[in-house]
Amino acid sequence: MKLIVGLGNPGGRYERTRHNAGFMVVDAFARKFRIEIDRHERDAFVGKGQIAGRTVMLAKPQTFMNLSGEAVSKLVKAHIESLDDLVVIYDDIDLPVGKLRIRQGGGSGTHNGMRSLLASLGTEKFPRIRFGVKGDDYAEARDLADYVLDDFPAADEPKVESTIGRAVDALAVIARGDLSRAMNQFNRDPAEGEEKA
């Protein structure tokens, strides 16, 4: 089974913020594959479904971003045997809006949610999808926390929606067991062209 975790903050006030890109992708994935995320388990909302005969569990931690690792580590212990079967999707301020980066591992950068995951799991070796949220309105002198907790501006919404769609397609490839193909296909810029998942 693949455990697909989107990082974000619970509550309506955060729903369309940059920091909730992970939740947005998981919700879109759930809609596409008709998976109900309607059960509360181990500090997360979860739902299970099937993709190409493979079981996936979707999860949205409800601990708030800075404590994401607490919920994720509980789900990992309960449901998967290897961290190769964990995929985490989260916003990345170091990538511009419209870009995805899929990696087999790596550090947390400036992301507090990922910092919490690495501390709770005791390793940085698990697959992840970084979702670019740095818009043209980003100013280096601006407070980072304020920026990621703002909603995406209307001008960025078309690109955000397109990137959510690409992230869902990437997750579908990963769920079928082909992380390498997802990296090769979706780490390219959209302008370079991609095959459909």
Residue 184 lies in a domain: yes
In a domain, 106, yes or no: yes
| Interstrand relation of 86-96 and 2-6 (parallel, antiparallel or unpaired) | parallel
What's the confidence (pLDDT) of residue 165? 95
CA-angle at 11, arms to 10 and 17, nearest 5°: 80
Give the model's pLDDT for residue 195.
45
pLDDT of residue 92: 93
pLDDT tens string 2-57: 999 999 999 888 989 999 999 999 999 999 999 999 999 889 999 999 998 899 99
CATH number of the domain encompassing residue 14: 3.40.50.1470
Residue 101 covered by a domain: yes
Measured distance CA(147)–CA(144) in Å, rounded: 5
- Active-site residue list: 19
pLDDT in tens, 181-193: 999 999 987 665 5
Total domains in the fold of the chain: 1
Whether the pTM exceeds 0.75: the reply is yes
Residue type, 48: K
44 forms beta bridges with: 41, 61
How many Å is the maximal CA-CA distance in the chain?
49
In a domain, 130, yes or no: yes
Q: Is residue 197 part of a domain?
A: no
Tokens at 92, concatenated? 């990345």
Is 12 domain-assigned? yes
How does DSSP classify residue 88?
A: E
Q: d(Cα 112, Cα 155) in Å, to the nearest integer?
A: 27
Is 133 a domain residue? Answer: yes
d(CA 14, CA 196): 31
- Which domain does 57 fall in, by range? 2-192
Residue 62: inside a domain:
yes
Beta bridge partners of 2: 56
